Chains A and B, each alone.
Chain A
Amino acid sequence: MAETHSLQDMRQQAAVAAKVFIQRDYTKGTVCQFQTKFPSELETRIDKQQFEETVQTLNNLYAEAEKLGSQSYIEGCLACLTAYTIFLCMETHYEKVLKKIAKYIQEQNDKIYAPRGLLLTDPIERGLRVIEVTIFEDRS
């Protein structure tokens, strides 16, 4: 019988040992950025470099989402002129990047964090306030 390694199974079988919350980093203003400081509770579980890289990529993705360029300006003007009915056909740039972020987190969880007994929660589920890292009990 092949053993499937799915996150749902892990969540149901493994007990939660602790949760770490990565807070927002306001040094660059009110833009959505998270602190890249490595929390001490994860020292035994994951590489510092790896974790900081994940958070830095997330920060870059959020910066890309909130970027004000000519594309977002045109999108805004077009939307206003059509009484926002255009969003029945297409989605906003911000929503597109949020989907990219969700996919990235899923991918990171599958490849890196789940094998180490960790789980990253998408910050949008927590209102972009924290990145919640769930630490599962080590059964190895």
Chain B
Amino acid sequence: MSAVMITRKVRKWEKLPGKNTFCCDGRVMMARQKGVFYLTLFLIVGTCSLFFAFECPYLAVHLSPAIPVFAALLFLFVIAMLLRTSFSDPGVLPRALPEEATFIEMEIEAANGNVPAGQRPPPRIRNVQINNQIVKLKYCYTCKIFRPPRASHCSICDNCVDRFDHHCPWVGNCVGKRNYRYFYMFTLSLSLLTIYIFTFDIIHVVMRSVDNGFLNTLKITPGTYPFKL
């Protein structure tokens, strides 16, 4: 007679040995330090909301209502890309299971031969020929694997990431193969949004100056509120 035991299935993200934090049942994967990411979010949302609150009413009336609409779409795109980059898996390589780790160690020992005691063992490198070029694959001591080409170990997240670019604190995550396109779209669209807002700020101040004179414009636009207080 076998006892029926209903155990909850352990998810892969619960067993991942890296220094990542997970939310929403494993749908969100981020690094541990998230402070700078909240700052990024605050800066983007803060400046855009100031733009929408103070400049857009004037611009919509005097120029065209398409301006705030396009700005809103661009803003939503930037936020979507930022969240996608921050919350997605950068391409973490699973660590070698014990059997594979011992298999690789035996292979390395066979390749190196006997090293006399006291001497440092030679670095663990595997040479691989890719398109008539010798590429050296380095061994990762933490993950116990030979890293594929262009993979690197992130010390902040303690994971090997495939096609590792860098760990971005602003985004709160590593940038690697699986989220590179979102990161690139984020930086591109954010630059566009910045230029867009800056252009229309200038236009707004110029238009008001033409109507009221430059000094009066500075008095009525919100930039002077801190000085009044």
Contact with A along B123-140 (1 / 0, CB 8 A): 000001111000100000
Given contacts A26-B129, A30-B130, A84-B84, contact A127 B100 (CB under 8 A): no
The stretch of B45-53, B75-83, B166-174, B194-202 in contact with A is B75-83
Residue in A16, A30, A125 whose CB lies within 8 Å of B149: A30
> Which residues of the partner chain A approach B149 to less than 8 Å between Cβ atoms?
26, 30
CB contacts under 8 Å to A, within B17-52, are none
Contact of A83 with B162 at beta-carbon distance under 8 Å, contacts A30-B130, A129-B145 already known: no
Instruction: Determine if B103 is an interface residue (Cβ-Cβ < 8 Å).
Output: yes
- The answer to whether the Cβ of A24 comes within 8 Å of any Cβ in the partner chain is yes
CA distance A76 to B200 in the complex (A): 31
Say whether, besides A19-B99, A19-B103, A127-B162, A84 and B80 are in contact (CB < 8 Å).
yes
Chain A interface size, under 10 / 10 to 19 / 20 to 34 / 35 or more: 10 to 19
B80 touches A26 (CB 8 A): no
Whether B185 pairs with A127 at a CB distance below 8 angstroms is: no
B94 touches A126 (CB 8 A): yes
The residue from B81, B84, B100 contacting A130, defined by CB atoms under 8 A apart? B100
Are the CB atoms of A132 and B93 closer together than 8 Å? no
Instruction: Mark contacts of A98-140 with chain B using CB atoms, 8 A cut-off: 1 yes-contact digit, 0 otherwise.
Output: 0000000000000000000000000001111110100000000
A129 neighbours in B (Cβ, 8 Å)? 93, 145, 148
Tell me the bound Cα distance from A27 to B132 in angstroms. Answer: 8
Provide the A15-45 mask, 1 if CB < 8 A to any CB of B, else 0: 0100101001011011000000000000000
Which residues on the A side are within 8 Å of B92 (C-beta)?
127
**Identity of the chain B residue whose Cβ is nearest the Cβ of A83 in the assembled complex:** B80
Q: What are 6 of the A-B contact pairs (CB < 8 Å)?
A: A21-B100, A21-B103, A29-B130, A30-B150, A84-B84, A129-B145
